[in-house]
Structure 1
Amino acid sequence: MKTTAVLDGDEYVINGSKTFITNGYLADLVIVVAKTDPKAGAKGTSLFLVEADTPGSPRASAWKRWE
């Protein structure tokens, strides 16, 4: 897994890429899996609920690929 999430103040900054999600455009929330502590192995993996209309979110970014 290459996606990372770094705590910046009281928010996480998620950086990574995604694959196409069938019917993803219908979702209001997207679950993102990211490494928050690479040294901790599997215990350093976290799940994030991201609102689909968040700037830079997986759904918002995916539609730009089709334009």
Structure 2
Amino acid sequence: MAKKDVDLSQAQWRTSSLSGTNGQCVAVAFVEGHVAVRHSKNTDGPSIIFTVDEWRAFTGGVRLGEFDQP
């Protein structure tokens, strides 16, 4: 299944408990073998779709501090 064909209509979105009240919140849904990411305050807005391998690479980099600001 191509990423663009992922059906998000039944997605169960999760928001991090670390998301603040300043409007900078990210929601994630695991659906059809993919991971969807969107802005939690703009639920009708676009989503970015990752494969599971792409998501693992991204979250692994986050855990290792690869994306920390210098």
Q: Does TM, scored on the shorter chain, surpass 0.5?
A: no
**What is the TM-score of this pair, normalised by structure 1?**
0.29
Which structure shows the higher strand fraction? 1
The structure whose RCO (Cα within 8 Å, separation 6+) is larger is: 1
**TM-score, normalised with respect to structure 2:** 0.28
Higher helix share: 1
